[in-house]
Chains A and B, each alone.
Chain A
Amino acid sequence: MLILKTLALEPIHGYGIAIRIEQISRGVFRVNSGSLFVALQRLQRDGLINSEWRATENNRRAKYYLLTDHGRKRLNAETRAWGRQAAAIARILEAS
């Protein structure tokens, strides 16, 4: 879900995804290359993201990932579900 959200803003390459997740989460999530690319492979095979080779800022070749329509729909659905769950947990924790 986090990867999908990251890609919702703009297509980026693998390292960019890792950096962005770390930045936005303020260092809570640290992304290991293995686990990142495992997730990327799964998402791609599920048809939620697509990939293409492009040139980076430094003119190197990197694989850029984009969100598909299917992926966008999934992101919205999961965000809503996550919101509901979080609210429910919060209510439970507040009740005493």
Chain B
Amino acid sequence: MSLLSHLASGLRSLFRKRDADRELDEELSSFLETALQEKLKQGLTRSEALRQVRLERGTLASAHEEVRSTAWESFFQTSWQDLRFAARMLAKSPSFTAIALLTLALGIGVNTSIFSLVNAILIRPLPYPDSAQLVGLGQSRVQQGAGYIQTGVSYPNVLEIDRQNTVFEQVAYYRFHSYNLIADNAPERVLSFQVSAGFLPMFGVAPQIGRVFTPAEMQPGSDAIVIISYGLWQRRFAGTPDILGKLVTLDERRYTIIGVMPRDFQFTWDAPVDVLVPLALSPAETGEAARTSRDLETLARMKPGITHDQAQSEMNAVAQRLAQAYPAANNGWNITVEPLHAAYYRHLTQPLFVLLGAVSFVLLIVCANIANLLLSRITARRREISIRLAIGASRHRLIRQLLTENLLLAAIGGFFGLVLAYWGAFILRTRVIQLQGFPGIKQMHLDWRVLLYTLALAFLTSFVFGLLPALHASKTNLNDSLKESSVSLSSDSGHRRLRSALVVVETALAIVLMAGAGLLIRTFAHIVGVDLGFNPANAVSLWIDLPKYKYSTGVQQSAFFRDALQRIRAIPGVESAGSFDGQGAVFFTPGAQQRPAPGQEPTARELSISPDYFRAMGGKLLAGRDFSAADTAGTTAVAIINRTMAERYWPKVNPLGDYIVPLAKIYNTQDQAASQTLAIVGVVADIKLSTDVWKDQPEFYVPAAQVPTASASVIIRASSDPTALIPAVRSAVLEIDSAQPINHVRTLADMISANLDFLRFPMALVWIFAALALLLAAIGIFGVMSYSVSRRAQEMAIRIALGAARRDVLKLILREGLGVTLLGVPIGVGVSLALGRLIATYLYGVSAYDPLTFLAVALLLFTVALLACFLPARRASRTDPLIALRYE
């Protein structure tokens, strides 16, 4: 009851302030008037009566103030007052406000952008229902030379897992495949998943139109049905509503469309998957021989209440049972259970945290800047504060008012920061190619977590770093500060030390960021400069994928490619042409050595190439010979190894004449052709075609005639621009098979730059952070120097009046400013060296302690600091003594 009336009367006086004040004033003045009358009646003079009334009963103003301040609504009234005052004060010093807001906006904006990225990828759960229970399964072993290997699961093993487990509600599996898709006579290459019946239900996602697959459709013959992606539906079928029942041709076989996936559905980080087909395995693929084909990506949904540890320990037991039951295939192989979220983002966790760390450094610089600015401002306003305290403001009220200013700064700066972050998140979401495939990316908005983070940041920087100066200011010795003129006081030196300390911290942090950036930039330069082992000029690559149902035997496949290459070589303008196809990683035994123990076998990548491949690539033969037409299926099995493989497994010995004995493919044992002893006939320099060019990988080549493939990349070297020859190449292929397209034509130069593309985004970030750090440090130094000079205007004027040359004043200020910077540099370098280990994994071609980089960074910062000090120093030296001495 009383609460309600409290509320009611409080609200009344809040919104009817003038009426309430008037009423109170009326009552109070009537009270005091009556008291005065009483005194007069006692015979006192008017002035004496007034004095006594004031003493005994108080004054109107003070009584009014007392009554009002005990009411709860006064808090809001005074806060509103504070806010308006704060806005006025901020508007009165535009340069301070502008710098502070800019600094805040930059710091908060950058941090929030990066945080929203981290949020979308690492923190938020995958966008599927109950995604915490989804896990990825794989087979794994630790392998000498290759380290930890994880592969898919083979079909017979998947069946065993499904049969033997008690922890999974459902097990699903799928396989990548690409098809030639033809719809309305326009061919296109699409990426697809061949999925088990339980795949879509396990994700809890239903097709937007149509239905999912049934288990009966997982048989060869019943599997001519397909679910297409939303993108494909819009792109090739114009989003027509009666899409169900339409036909598409995949690899010259007709499939009926039975469903369309929802728009935002994405479950891979590779290129988008356009087509889902049932995984219909042939008898050969399901029999015992397939137990070593570890090529099925396997997922499972754990039962409610089951933890990852429980699932993993059960899978460990299952793996052991499998190894005992089928030792040839499963010995040494474990079954790993990994939360799906981690499986997707495993390789991103560390880089993202490094990113977050870097951006936090930027934030620290921002905090130092803001603290410095606020400190300077408080010191400048000390006179005003002292006067207010002297008049009678309570310290509590004063601190509240100062904090309100900080809060207002924080709010506005945070708002701008949010705008910046919105824009930043937009850029990340749409322009950065590497991130496009991640399931969480499309939903990378500024959600509540991000907003909370922003709020916390804004609060932290402005409020917390403003609290200390505010508290300090309220303790000012009134006498001293009221007497002061512009001459520096003893308490000032404490402030000055603090400000200098902040600048040192800022400088050190900037050095750390810039040193890291410098090392990464040099790494990038080295990566770009790596000798790739081939000549990218005037060469083009294209893919030919022969459909297996038409070219089922190795003989057919070899014949096609032999024929095609012959025709291509005959085209005028073509200098050489060759083909290659990666066969995957292989365990092998070098030479006549003993077969190593399981887990110790060396690994290498196997590639099947045509004769003249090295010529077409412009590669370099180091020893022995290239393959020729004489190397056929009937002659000795031969191989050419690359330099890394030669140096690693035949150190200081000529490998020519020795043997490789391939043992098994790591991932897939289908097409097991190259399993007999191979005689080494040549050594070539490494050819680096993949994205990680800084790694030296052992590779060996086998003739396509002996290891035929159904798909291959064809490399064509021309005497001039090779793209002009493509139509001729296309028709040459069509002459052999009128339904065979060529795909993915691009020049070798484009391929190199596409490979480097994935580094561009991190490099851009590196540049941005380094620039930001430098800019903020410069702003900090500039701000402090500016302020210091303006405070000492009188001192400068006196110096000049007494005869100091303007140049001396300039030098004096510069020396001071740079002295502080000079202190920050070695500290920053020291911290960078200490953190060297963290960054070393990302470096290539440059050590984490590289002195050249550090020197360059220190010089850069020093130069920028010099420039930042120059303007204030020049202003100081231009002080007109007459004006400055009169001015306070």
> Which residues of A approach B to under 8 Å, CB–CB?
13-15, 18-19, 30-35, 37-38, 41-42, 44-47, 60-63, 70
Contact = CB atoms under 8 A, between A and B. Distances in A.
Contact of A37 (B9, B10, B28, B34): B28
A40 B137 CA distance: 75
B649 interface: no
Contact of A41 (B30, B34, B56, B71): B71
For chain B, what secondary structure do more than half of its interface residues adopt (helix, strand, loop), or is it mixed?
Answer: helix
B56 A60 contact: no
Given A19-B38, A33-B63, A46-B6, 5 more contacts: A14-B31, A15-B31, A15-B35, A31-B57, A60-B30
Contact of A47 (B5, B28, B38, B71): B5
Given A44-B9, A45-B2, A30 B56 contact: yes
A32 B58 contact: yes
Interface of B: 1-2, 5-6, 9-10, 23-24, 26-28, 30-32, 34-35, 38, 56-58, 62-63, 65-67, 70-71
Nearest to B55: A32
B215 to A, nearest CB: 74
Nearest to B7: A45
A34 B27 contact: no
A41 B6 CA distance: 10
Residue in B2, B27, B57 with the greatest tally of chain A CB atoms within 10 Å:
B27
A13 to B, nearest CB: 8
A83 to B, nearest CB: 25
A56 B634 CA distance: 129
Contacts of B28: 33, 37
For chain A, what secondary structure do more than half of its interface residues adopt (helix, strand, loop), or is it mixed?
Answer: helix
B8 to A, nearest CB: 9
A37 B27 contact: yes
20 contacts: A13-B31, A19-B38, A30-B56, A31-B57, A33-B28, A33-B31, A33-B32, A34-B62, A34-B66, A35-B66, A37-B66, A38-B67, A41-B67, A44-B9, A45-B2, A46-B2, A46-B5, A47-B2, A47-B5, A63-B30
Contacts of B31: 13-15, 18, 33, 37
Given A33-B58, A34-B58, A47-B2, A62 B66 contact: no
A80 B763 CA distance: 81
Nearest to B5: A47
A32 B70 contact: no
B30 A61 contact: yes
A71 B38 CA distance: 30
Nearest to B27: A63
Contacts of A70: 1
Residue in A15, A33, A38, A60 with the greatest tally of chain B CB atoms within 10 Å:
A33
B59 to A, nearest CB: 8
A47 B1 contact: yes
A45 B58 contact: no
Contacts of A38: 66-67, 70
A96 to B, nearest CB: 41
A6 to B, nearest CB: 15
Contacts of A63: 23, 27, 30
A62 B1 CA distance: 27
Contacts of B57: 18, 31-33
Contacts of B1: 47, 70
Contacts of B30: 13-15, 60-63
Contacts of A37: 24, 27-28, 31, 63, 66-67
B688 to A, nearest CB: 82
A37 B57 CA distance: 11
A63 B24 CA distance: 10
Given A15-B31, A33-B31, A60-B30, A41 B58 contact: no
A41 B65 CA distance: 13
B26 A42 contact: no
Nearest to B34: A15
A32 B56 contact: yes
A44 B581 CA distance: 92
B26 A61 contact: yes
